[in-house]
Structure 1
């Protein structure tokens, strides 16, 4: 049995990363990853935005710091220049991407809530990367439909990151597969959905987790059967599925 001191230490560890979504069994191990390889290399603007977002009542929606580091490196590895992000919130993953892109790189960013985006905008501006971002407020599907209508947009995006309404993931995919280039990547966030994808049907789950779980399960089943992409599901953050377009 843990002593009171150990219990307090465990509780403290669990909440040091606000919006903690790691699927690791041990909070201490997750904290080790953050303190050893993530925080020491986290750019100051990302740290500032992470701390601002921690005070927001919906901070669970933020991209975790380790996933932000992963996205930043991934953008550089594939030499992405033209990207898209569906679901922005306060902009942590958006800023991680913008910092990784070359100075003439671009991000088409979409979210239904501009107020949340503007919470992080001063940090993005101070970081000198706001000129890379084209922010659109409102539902993403109508924007995607317009993009698909113009054949010049087909295959024009190097990387697309989706962290939005899970019930529309497959609808997004139908449009995004036309817009990402052959060999380009689409990343779908939260595909392990708080670990609920393996929970029994009668498991006690938070209301929003239970509501979206079936959509996540259905998407996971559909994406693995799509011959247009090769995929890799990673237990980073809340689970991210990378899709590389084949044809």
Structure 2
């Protein structure tokens, strides 16, 4: 079964499959593979909400290099990135996961349990803003997180950013997913619908276009934010890493 490839930024789909088949699939954990296949089978077009396998490996490597122990995930879907994170973290790690969609999370939960990492995960069913604001009510959460992965409503990324910086420790990293948004950030506005239709092979929902504008605004903002170092990585659909400076 092929992975979803519509979000790849590579022009050559065969090259993306080469990456998957040569360096990603052979090292993919058994339960990650099973979760990826279950998502593909059960979620229809929504399966594109899941991160690709090479991005999961990238995040896992980053977490290990950071020696992260306390992480936050905003936007879970079926939990591929969540499981990749849980497998990468030590046994005493804590992961707080926030998503409004409990049903999608429950698709992935059996694989998280089967992998033996469920005790690391605390799932909160909530919209992201409310979930973040509730975390901030506890002083123990202020500046306490090593790493945050954000893959929720793109139009609210700027709001998330201000809340996240209060939760993230100095030197911690937040990773924003989809910051190149199907490569539309370099497409003229009047051509976005046609471009997306050519990539997705379907009609383009309004949120695709709204998300493009929000992502472009976010990218400009992050580049000018003195509180962070940034690196925009062209893996998957674009991931921007932000390291809190103060």
TM-score over 0.5 for the alignment? yes
Residue 98 of structure 1 corresponds to 86
Residue 196 of structure 1 corresponds to 184
**Which sections of structure 2, spanning at least 5 residues, go unmatched?**
197-203
Residue 3 of structure 1 corresponds to none
1:40 aligns with 2:26: yes
Displacement after TM superposition at 1:211 (Å): 2.3
1:237 aligns with 2:240: no
Residue 171 of structure 2 corresponds to 183
1:25 aligns with 2:25: no
Residue 147 of structure 2 corresponds to 159
Displacement after TM superposition at 1:143 (Å): 2.2
| 1:103-129 deviation digits (Å, cap 9, x = unpaired) | 110110011100000001101100000
What's the RMSD between the two structures over aligned residues?
A: 1.2
Whole-Å separation in 1 of the counterparts to 2:116 and 2:5: 26
Residue 219 of structure 1 corresponds to 218
Residues 20, 64 of structure 1: 8 Å contact kept = no
Give 3-state SS (helix, strand or coil) of 2:81's partner.
helix
| 1:29-67 deviation digits (Å, cap 9, x = unpaired) | 111111111001111010010100111111111111010
Whole-Å separation in 1 of the counterparts to 2:141 and 2:114: 31
Displacement after TM superposition at 1:18 (Å): 2.2
Displacement after TM superposition at 1:20 (Å): 3.8
Displacement after TM superposition at 1:161 (Å): 0.2
Whole-Å separation in 1 of the counterparts to 2:173 and 2:92: 20
Residues 19, 54 of structure 1: 8 Å contact kept = no
Displacement after TM superposition at 1:19 (Å): 5.3
Whole-Å separation in 2 of the counterparts to 1:72 and 1:20: 22
In the alignment of these two chains, the number of paired residues is: 233
For residue 72 of structure 1, the aligned residue among 60, 63, 69 is 60
Whole-Å separation in 1 of the counterparts to 2:3 and 2:156: 28
Displacement after TM superposition at 1:210 (Å): 1.4
**Which sections of structure 1, spanning at least 5 residues, go unmatched?**
1-14
Residue 162 of structure 2 corresponds to 174
Give 3-state SS (helix, strand or coil) of 1:96's partner.
helix
TM-score by length of structure 2 reads 0.92
Give 3-state SS (helix, strand or coil) of 1:227's partner.
coil
For residue 143 of structure 1, the aligned residue among 131, 138, 145 is 131
Residue 124 of structure 1 corresponds to 112
Residues 185, 245 of structure 1: 8 Å contact kept = yes
TM-score by length of structure 1 reads 0.92
Whole-Å separation in 1 of the counterparts to 2:2 and 2:155: 30
Residue 16 of structure 1 corresponds to 2
